Structure 1
Amino acid sequence: MNIAIISRGENLYSTRSLFKAGASRNHVMEVLDPNRCTQAIEDGKPVLYFNNEPVNDLDAVIPRIGASNTYFGAALVRHFQSMGVFCVVQAEPILQSRNKWTCNQVLAHAKIPVPKTVLGTSGDVEGMLDIFGDPPYIIKVLQGTHGHGVILAETYRGAVSTIETLLTSKVRFVIQEFIEESNGSDLRAIVVDGKVVGAMKRQGQDGEFRSNLHRGGSSEVIKLSYAEENLALRAAKALRLGVCGVDILQSNRGPLVLEVNSTPGLEGIETTTGISIAGQIISYIERNKRR
């Protein structure tokens, strides 16, 4: 098959891992930088050009859409869908998962437990905080990644000041309860085609409430409980994501979905578990093209 990876960084670990996994199975692999793609509609049909050359021979694409390129990247994926190309993740699920509030709304509709969350508005700031009770509070911008745009407000007045600053700057955000018992850790489950194919526990550095490996956190292999695995699968299904990373917090009231990532990094999970997640994604494409 001819498979393209939509990525702005052909030397990034995840892109290289996917390329290698596909090539090892005798697929023709290529990397398409979305910034060098031109989408067009000609004679009522979707047409795509890459470096001014028509792209019309692809069987499947693997989107690796960064947060800074969400709108254009999702539009490109939607264009491939309209061309009849199999997309590992589709455009609307990418957009829904990338926006933290929209993602929580979808999960809530599916009755999937998440931390208590409030959409930041220009209304009664103190009233919003009163929903949570005593501090600390977590404040998140809607489209941050790798732990960026996540603030721990340890005092009530500090939270008010932060929220007022975000409102003045017209930055969209949510307020979320702080799950103290998670102790700066979370679980990352990778779901591919309705199955958890790898999982790890991430632990933040001492004094760090964020567990992201990009922020110096550590990781270890973990076997998910039935409840945790079931939660990850339900979250992926609710968001209609064929491939995703589901971040789960272990709380006193059971596992909670923290976030769902439609473009999960592969380096941390593959290095920690020794599992070729990239190979699992290529297998997913092969199964779907045989149907």
Structure 2
Amino acid sequence: MTALISVTELVRDMASADPPSLLDVRWELGGPPGRPAYERGHLPGAVYVDLDTELSGPTGPGTGRHPLPDLEVFGAAMRRAGVSADRPVVVHDGGRGWAAARAWWLLRWTGHRDVRVLDGGLAAWTGPLSAGSESVPEGDFRPVADAGPLRLLDAEGAAALARDGLLLDARAAERYRGEVEPVDPVGGHIPGAVSAPTTGNLTASGTLRPTGELTERFAALGVRPGVAVGVYCGSGVSAAQEVLALAETGVDAALYAGSWSEWTADPERPVATGPEPG
């Protein structure tokens, strides 16, 4: 089953006898908090979920910028948003799919069976919006680590894939090359990783590219049968969008959630620069 839902399909499902739980996870790297924008206008019935405090845990020595959340905190946030184990969930962000894919990945990794991302996010929505906040009945979802089909990598696993499989770097190409690093203290990439910016997964309108185009893109990057695939980015957020794009092509890719910010927190870990994997 596709992990995406179109605006047309969502409108139909929202009007059905069993509408999905709607999660608004708008977030921008280095941008303002998403809640004020949510309160100005959101999909009717959607509940705001904060990526920094509810889809991520606190940072500390050796962690990345967006560690996975404590499952009690995450579970409480999901139940507050009305998420139940037997009810479909639709998540969206402002448009690029980074934050929405983070929520999708967490819910699927912890055992929810029916989660989809609104293709194109709020930017694709043409219907009415609601202001203020929403109050919904509490859900019953209880997350369990590794209960779903998605896979998680640690730093050792990422290094092994870069050496023996295929590790994709979802950040902008100039960050991969080490020419600029606006967020983390060290520029470059994990040795052996292949540059695969998430911008290459989207159409000009911000929706995910058709499956055939994505398949061709990933094949050109080295994805092929029998090769294990992993993805990382700066902090584990945008990489989830690439895991979702790979899933649309039938590829089961693992997420290195700690990503570059965790990798470079240990000065003993090697760093490569330039356009080649190294």
The TM-score with structure 2 as length reference comes to 0.30
Structure with the bigger percentage of strand: 1
Structure with the bigger percentage of helix: 1
The TM-score with structure 1 as length reference comes to 0.29
* Larger RCO (alpha carbons 8 Å, 6+ apart): 2
